[in-house]
Every structure is written in structure tokens, then in C-alpha cells.
Amino acid sequence: MRVTAYCEQCECELTFDSETDHELETACHNCQTPVRIAFSDRILQENMVDACPSCGKRAFYVQKDFNRNLGLGIVVICAIIGLYFVWVDRPFLFYAALGFAVVIDTLLYLLLPEVTVCYPCKAVFRGAKRNPEHKGFDLHILDVYEGRSQGYSDPS
């Protein structure tokens, strides 16, 4: 399993491997802030995420491993092409351009693997078995961890 964690100070991306970096104390490549990583026994033995090796919390969600900016770019380009076809009075080609974006999105959804993401520190876990306790993204849980939800405490 590969883990992409982020430095608390400068948000620099740091990558760790559960096979080689069992318990590691290192420094951020960018700002030299100390970073401690400690993989749980379940991660090491079962390749399943149960506790974040970066922050120690137990709140995760699952999503497809896809760059959101690239996805937005595909939709925008197809929409611009579609608007061109509206301008030249070709409504069928307008719908074809939008349909093409839907087909690309569906194929990517079916083909891309899932990743597990930690709500508090945004660490991304690639190559792990899916933990059945982890569900899709929940905005309320993110609000709790980012301090925007009043009257609720840390659920983990």
C-alpha cells in the first residue's frame, strides 16, 4: 500500500510505502518539519486501512482515484464543443458532445481503482483492500473535522 500524506506546516506531499516504512520518523522535504508515520498492525498484516498512520484518526471515505481538475476539464471542453454546435445550429451534435462526456465519465468510473482518504489529514491510501466500514464522502463528517459544525465532537 502506498500512502500519500501531507506536511502539517507547508502541505508538501510525502509518499510512504507500508512494506518498507513500518514506523518512520523523517523530515518534510520542503520545510524540514518532523513527520512521524506509524502503520497499524491491520495495515501491515491485512493491507486494510483502520487507522491513519499520519494523524492516528479513524475517519475515512472511499472515492475513485481520479484527478478532479482533469475531470472538470473534460466536461468544460465537451460543453464548449457542444455550445459551438448550438451556435452553428446543429442541436444533434450538441447532445452528442455532452453524451461523449457522459461516456468518458462512465468508462473512467468503471475502470479506475478506489482509494481511501482520511478526513482529518487528507492522506490518500492506494493499493489497500477496501474496509467495509468506510463509506463514500460525507460532508457533515468533513465539517466536524474542519470545525464548521457546532455542537459536535470528533467522532473518532
Domain ranges of the chain: 2-64+115-145, 68-111
What confidence tens digit (pLDDT) does each residue in 73-87 have? 998 999 999 999 999
Residue 112 has what pLDDT? 93
Cβ(75)–Cβ(67) under 8 Å?
Answer: no
Residue 37 has what pLDDT? 84
Residue 107 has what pLDDT? 93
Cβ(29)–Cβ(12) under 8 Å?
Answer: yes
Residues of the chain with pLDDT under 70: 21-23, 147-156
Q: Collapse the DSSP code of 31 into the 3-class scheme (helix H, G, I; strand E, B; otherwise coil) and give the result.
A: coil
Cβ(6)–Cβ(12) under 8 Å?
Answer: yes
Residue 150 has what pLDDT? 55
Residue 121's nearest CA partner among 27, 44, 13 is 13
Residue 104 has what pLDDT? 92
